[in-house]
Structure 1
Amino acid sequence: MLGTAVSRYRWPHPDEVLAASYGHAYPITSAASVPTTYLEYYDYDPYFPDHGTEPPNFTARPQTFTVEMGQSVIIPCDYTNAGEHKLIIKKVSARGGNEKLLAVDIHKVTPDQRISITGARLTISHIRPRDAGTYLCYFDLDPPVQLKHTLLVQYAATVSSLVPPEQHVAKGSSVTLECEAHGNPHPTIHWSRQEGKLPSGQHTSQGIRLTLTDVDQGAEGTYLCTADNDIGDPASAAMAIIIEYPPEVTPEKAVVRTREGAQMELVCVVQGRPTPEVVWTRDGQPVQDIVMDTQPQLPTHTHTSTTVLSGHSLPTHRHSLLITSLAEKDFGSYMCIAENAHGRKHAAIQVTGLPEVPDITSSPNGDESTRYTLTWKTESYSPVKEFIIMYRKAHRGVWQGNGSLVMEGSWNKVSSAVEAEDEVNKAQYSMAYILTNLEVATDYLAIVRVRNKYGWSDESNYFQFSTQKALKISRATSLVSPCWSVD
Structure 2
Amino acid sequence: MRIFLLATVFCAVFCSVHAAIPLSSRQDDFDYPADSEGDEDMQGDTDTGNYYDDDKEEKNVEPITEKNRNRVEEPAVILTRPSIFENNIGDSIVLPCKTPGNDSVIIWYKNDDILFQDAVTLHAKANHNLKKDSLEINNLQKEDAGQYRCVSMVSERNKAAITHEVKVKYSPIVTELSVKNNETTLKVGAELVLTCRAKGYPEPVISWHKETIKEGRTVNERFDATGNVLTIPSVTRRDEGRYLCFADNKIGKPSLEYINITLTHLPVVSIEEFIVNSDKEMDTELKCTVKAKPRADVVWLRNGIVLHSSSHIKMSNQDNEHILTLKGLRESDFGQYVCSANNSLGAIEKSINLVKTPAIREFIKPERPTKDLVLTWKVESKAPIIEHELQYRRKGDSEWRSVKPTVHGTDDGVYVIKYTLKELDEGSYETRCRSRNEHGWSDYTEVTLVEFDKAHHSKHGNKKAHKHNKDKSSDVEQSQQPQKESEIGESKNPSSASSTTAPLLLCSISILYLYFSRL
User: TM-score band, normalised by the shorter chain?
Assistant: 0.5 to 0.7
Structure 2 residue 86 is matched with structure 1 residue 67: yes
Amino acid in structure 1 at the alignment position of 2:86: V
C-alpha deviation, 1:142, in angstroms: 4.4
Report the equivalent of 2:316: 293
Task: Note the aligned Cα RMSD (angstroms).
Answer: 4.9
1:161-172 equivalences in 2 (<5 Å): 161-163=177-179, 167-172=184-189
Amino acid in structure 2 at the alignment position of 1:287: L
Moved more, 321-330 or 224-233: 224-233
Structure 2 residue 362 is matched with structure 1 residue 339: no
1:114-263 equivalences in 2 (<5 Å): 114-131=127-144, 132-138=146-152, 141-143=155-157, 145=159, 147-156=161-170, 157-159=172-174, 160-163=176-179, 167-187=184-204, 189=206, 191=208, 204-227=224-247, 235-263=255-283
State how far apart, in whole Å, the 1-side matches of 2:272 and 2:349 are: 13
Give the % identical residues: 24
1:11-36, Cα deviation, whole Å (9 max, x unpaired)? xxxxxxxxxxxxxxxxxxxxxxxxxx
Report the equivalent of 1:428: 413
1:81-92 equivalences in 2 (<5 Å): 81=101, 88-92=106-110
Q: Is the 8 A contact 1:358 1:450 kept in 2?
A: no
C-alpha deviation, 1:247, in angstroms: 1.9
State how far apart, in whole Å, the 2-side matches of 1:395 and 1:207 are: 57
1:300-339 equivalences in 2 (<5 Å): 317-339=320-342
State how far apart, in whole Å, the 2-side matches of 1:231 and 1:358 are: 60
State how far apart, in whole Å, the 2-side matches of 1:224 and 1:391 are: 57
Report the equivalent of 2:442: 458
Distance 1:149 1:252, change over 3 A: same
Please, which runs of 5 or more residues in structure 1 have no aligned partner? 1-45, 297-316, 360-375, 397-402, 413-425, 432-445, 462-487
C-alpha deviation, 1:74, in angstroms: 0.7
Report the equivalent of 1:76: 96
Distance 1:220 1:153, change over 3 A: same
- With normalisation by structure 2, the TM-score equals 0.50
Q: Is the 8 A contact 2:107 2:117 kept in 1?
A: yes
Report the equivalent of 1:272: 292
Amino acid in structure 2 at the alignment position of 1:155: K
Tell me the SS of whatever aligns to 2:143: helix
Distance 1:108 1:252, change over 3 A: same
Distance 1:395 1:270, change over 3 A: closer
Please, which runs of 5 or more residues in structure 2 have no aligned partner? 1-64, 214-220, 363-376, 405-410, 417-432, 446-519
Tell me the SS of whatever aligns to 1:152: strand
Distance 1:406 1:284, change over 3 A: closer
Tell me the SS of whatever aligns to 2:295: coil
State how far apart, in whole Å, the 2-side matches of 1:69 and 1:240 are: 35
C-alpha deviation, 1:338, in angstroms: 1.3
Identify the match of residue 100 of structure 1 among 114, 120, 130: 114
C-alpha deviation, 1:325, in angstroms: 4.9
State how far apart, in whole Å, the 2-side matches of 1:194 and 1:390 are: 50
Distance 1:141 1:332, change over 3 A: same
Amino acid in structure 1 at the alignment position of 2:80: R
Report the equivalent of 1:472: none
State how far apart, in whole Å, the 1-side matches of 2:361 and 2:237 are: 39
- With normalisation by structure 1, the TM-score equals 0.53
C-alpha deviation, 1:349, in angstroms: 1.7
C-alpha deviation, 1:266, in angstroms: 2.0
1:213-255, Cα deviation, whole Å (9 max, x unpaired)? 2333354455455555565555455455444332221122223
Q: Is the 8 A contact 1:380 1:427 kept in 2?
A: no
C-alpha deviation, 1:319, in angstroms: 1.5
Q: Is the 8 A contact 1:166 1:242 kept in 2?
A: no
State how far apart, in whole Å, the 1-side matches of 2:160 and 2:74 are: 11
